[in-house]
Every structure is written in C-alpha cells, then in structure tokens.
Amino acid sequence: MIKTWMTPWLLLAVPFLGAGFSLLLRTSLQRMKTSALLTTVASLLVVVGTPWALGDSLAGVPFLCLLPVTAFLSLLGQPLHRDNTSAWAATLVLLGLGLGILTAQAPAHDVMLPILPGLLCILLYRYQAGATPETWRGLSAYGLSLVSAALALVLPAPASTVALLVTCATLLPLLPVHSGFIATLTGLPGNLPAFLVFLLPTVGFHTLLTLLPTLTVTTLHTVAILALAGALYGSLRALIQARPLPRLAYAALAFFGLLWWYVADTGTAPMQGTVYLSAVGLAASGLLLAWYAIRARYGDLDLCALGGLAYPMPRFSTLLALLALAALGMPPFGVFSGFLGMLLLPTFTPSGPFAVVMIVWLTASWYYTDFVQQLIFGRQRVDMRYDDLRRTEFASLVLLLLLLLALGTAPSRVFDSYVPAPPATVAVQEGTWIR
C-alpha cells in the first residue's frame, strides 16, 4: 500500500529516473527517444494506478493524465537529431516536477514550486543567453517568480498570498509579468515550447485554486482589470506579428487572460474552467508542434516566405486548419465547450467588460485565419522541396485533435464525475479537480 505522502515523490521520481537513463543512451538517438517515450507512458500508468492504491483519494485523474500524455505527444513527433536530446531530457525533468507540484500538499508543494521558475531561468539562459531583450525580460519575470515563491515560504499570511499570486501570474500568464511565458514559447528549442504551453498554465492554475478562497474583493477586481488588459494586449500583439512563434505565444496569452478574467470576476473556478484551460493548452501545443514540423524542414521563416502547402502537403494542411479552428474556439472542440460552459453557469452575469471578451475573440478569428491562409493557400515556391508530415508527426497531431474533441464532447458525461474531496489545508471551489 502506497502512503499518501509518497504519491508526489513517486510521480516525481519516475520521470527523473527516466531522464537519467535516457542521457545514458545518448549515443543512440533512437534508443534515447524511445526511452523518453516509455518514461512518459510509465508516468501515465503511475498516475492512473495511484488512486487505486490510495482508495480513490486522488481526484481529477482525467486531467492529471493529460500532463504525461502531452509530454508523450510533444516527444513523439520530434525528429532524431542531436540538437533535440537535451530538450528530451528537460521535458522529463519538467514532467516529474509538474506532477510533483500538482499532487503535493503543503509544505512539500511550497518547497517544489520555486524550483520550476528557477529551472526555466536556467533553460532560457542556456539557450538564449545574450540573444534578445525579450529573453532578458523573460529571465526577469521568472526571477521574480522564483523570489516570490521563496518569500511565500517565510512571509505571514497576507504577504505570502500576494507573493504566490505573482508566481501564478508568471506561470498562467497575466499582464504585466507575462514576459517569461512569451520568452519560453519563442526561445526554447525542440518540443519544450509545445510541452510548457500546457504545463506552466496548469501549475499556475493549480496554485491559483489554493489561493482563491483567501483573495479579497479588491484583489479580485484588480486581477480582473489586468486580465482584460492582458487579453486585449495579447490579441493586438498577435495581430501584428509576422513570425508564427510570437503570434502563437501572444494568442495563448490572450486566451489564458480570459480565464483569469472569469475566475476574478466570479470568484469561482468551475470544472468548465479546467476544461477550457486544458483545451487552450492542448490547442496551442498542437499549433506549436505543427510549426516545428515546418521549422525542421525549412528553418524559422516568417509567414510571407512560405505558402501554397494545401496540395503538396495535404496532411499537414488539413491538421493545421483543424487545430486553428480548435484554438479559435469553434465547436465541437474543448475551447468552445469549456468557455461556453463557464458563461452558462449561474455564477456568471454578463456586464460591460464582456465586450472586451468579444473583441478578443473577433481579433483571434483574424490572426488565426490569416495564419492558416498564408501557409496553406497562396502561390507555391518552385525553389522549395515540399515534404509532408512523417508518420510520427502525423500521429502526434491527430491524437492531439482527438483529445481536443474529447474535451469538447465528453466533460458532462465523464469529467463531472470526478469531484475532489477538499484537502485538509485548502478550501476548494465546487467542481474543481486539483488538490
């Protein structure tokens, strides 16, 4: 029988051991990648098997499973290249740390949390040291997050709550401390952006849920204003980006800002909010993986340098269009059902700020449509050799789309049955899933 306190350490240990074993196989890229994939599968099995050992005390298993699944899919489509090996190992380390944070209770949770922004600082400095002002702003944001999470361990209650809220705002991006999130998606190599776009908001939202019952009305109003400003800012910045990675990063900022606004406006975090968070993260992950497939073939081009992929790359074009529709919030995918479900709850009352939400959505319909139109349609380049998705790339994107479809059609029948018992130390809003 596994003791409750051992659960987060077991979930943390499996990916850490897998990362170490993968590095031992570095001389064979195929074996190293296979080892990393098997480690994510082992982590998934531990997540699924742990509730049985604990007497079903670990709530929200369907959503917790998405973390190793996302790690697996982000690794699956990666080509065998020496430059990707460090990203594979870092993915496993981040997976273990994320699972540990999501399942640990205080004080283990509070001790693990500062490690995540510290590790992100190391990764940004390792891969982008001295590169751009955006990178240094990202390092500053994660440095602030690290200090805030560390101060929360020693400060008394009101100050520690504010410190943890700052850490939440860097992971689940919120203006004005969103720079780390943008730098992560635009500056890290390999599959790391596609995995972190799901991991970081999930950890940030988890920590926010523990703080929500203690936040004052004034704090919630301030967060709601910042969330609307951040959503509008992200949409406008995405609209003017010529390169795909910044466009996708700012688009994710805008959609996560809508979640911040809803939680601050209503003071609740319903199950539909978790569906929305997961769907936005998965859709952004799929688009980042799709663009990585292009970068692996042609380099980091802007949108005007490549087009006409509909006929020479039909599999890529079809999946890219479907992922863009899912990210935009079209039915029957999870972004649509999650956000609509939040709006239909009795805790929400439409008001003036809701007009900003409509502007954000209309702006997204422009830059996502333009993203797809410039890549899929237009004139083909005669000087370029087109190469459609390989089997592993195709499989990873198809599975991501199926997950988005499941989130959009199944929550009322499946996910609502997982309602957690509130932990002894934290009061959790009804319908949420994180301990």
Helix axes 192-211, 66-76, angle to 10 degrees: 170
Categorize the per-residue pLDDT at 385 as very low, low, confident or very high, splitting at 50, 70 and 90: confident
Locate 8 and state its tokens.
Answer: 């987060």
How wide is the angle at C-alpha 168 spanned by C-alphas 324 and 151, nearest 5°? 155
Categorize the per-residue pLDDT at 6 as very low, low, confident or very high, splitting at 50, 70 and 90: low
Categorize the per-residue pLDDT at 7 as very low, low, confident or very high, splitting at 50, 70 and 90: confident
More confident residue, 64 or 70: 70
Q: What is the average pLDDT value for the chain, to the nearest integer?
A: 85
Distance of CA 323 to CAs 156, 306, 372, 400, 430, Å?
Answer: 45, 19, 10, 9, 31
Q: What pLDDT was estimated at residue 427?
A: 38
Residue 391 burial class via C-beta count within 10 angstroms: exposed 0-12, middle 13-18, buried 19 and up:
exposed
Coil, helix or strand at residue 273 = helix
User: Which pTM value belongs to this model?
Assistant: 0.90
Q: What pLDDT was estimated at residue 430?
A: 38
Q: What pLDDT was estimated at residue 428?
A: 38
Locate 248 and state its tokens.
Answer: 């996708």
Residue burial 27-44, b: 16+ Cβ < 10 Å; e: rest: eebeebbebbbebbeebb
Please give the full DSSP string across 104-163, using - where no structure is assigned. Answer: --TTHHHHHTTHHHHHHHHHHHHHHTTS-HHHHHHHHHHHHHHHHHHHTTTS-HHHHHHH
Locate 139 and state its tokens.
Answer: 């390092």
Q: What pLDDT was estimated at residue 116?
A: 94
Locate 72 and state its tokens.
Answer: 């697996």
Mean pLDDT across 17-45:
91
Q: What pLDDT was estimated at residue 54?
A: 43
Q: What pLDDT was estimated at residue 387?
A: 85
Q: By percentage, how much of the chain surpasses pLDDT 90?
A: 48
Locate 255 and state its tokens.
Answer: 């959609």
Coil, helix or strand at residue 302 = coil
Q: What pLDDT was estimated at residue 429?
A: 39
Q: How far apart are CA 186 and CA 248, in angstroms?
A: 9
Mean pLDDT across 314-339:
91
Q: How far apart are CA 166 and CA 169, in angstroms?
A: 5
Mean pLDDT across 380-385:
77
Locate 404 and state its tokens.
Answer: 């988005």
Is the CB of residue 312 less than 8 Å from the CB of residue 384?
no
Mean pLDDT across 159-175:
93
Tell me the CA end-to-end span of the chain in Å, nearest whole number. 20
Of 75-84, 99-108, 178-187, 378-387, give the lowest mean pLDDT range.
378-387
Mean pLDDT across 385-397:
90
Categorize the per-residue pLDDT at 110 as very low, low, confident or very high, splitting at 50, 70 and 90: confident
The sign one gets for the Cα dihedral 422, 423, 425, 428 is: negative
Residue carrying the six token digits 């949409």: 235
Q: What pLDDT was estimated at residue 2?
A: 46
pLDDT single digits (tens) 65-89: 899 999 999 999 888 888 888 999 9
Distance of CA 324 to CAs 126, 282, 285, 303, 366, Å?
Answer: 31, 11, 11, 15, 11
Q: Is residue 317 scored above 50 in pLDDT? A: yes
Categorize the per-residue pLDDT at 61 as very low, low, confident or very high, splitting at 50, 70 and 90: low
Of 129-138, 243-252, 287-296, give the lowest mean pLDDT range.
129-138
Q: What pLDDT was estimated at residue 232?
A: 93
How wide is the angle at C-alpha 70 spanned by C-alphas 67 and 239, nearest 5°? 110
Q: How far apart are CA 170 and CA 348, in angstroms?
A: 26
Mean pLDDT across 92-104:
92
How wide is the angle at C-alpha 15 spanned by C-alphas 278 and 9, nearest 5°? 90
Task: Sketch the domain layout of the chain as residue ranges.
Answer: 4-417
Residue carrying the six token digits 């010529």: 242
Tell me, rounded to whole angstroms, the distance of Cα 265 from its chain centroid.
22
Q: Is residue 417 scored above 70 in pLDDT? A: no
pLDDT single digits (tens) 189-211: 889 999 999 999 999 999 999 89
Mean pLDDT across 124-148:
84
Categorize the per-residue pLDDT at 130 as very low, low, confident or very high, splitting at 50, 70 and 90: low
Q: By percentage, how much of the chain surpasses pLDDT 70?
A: 89
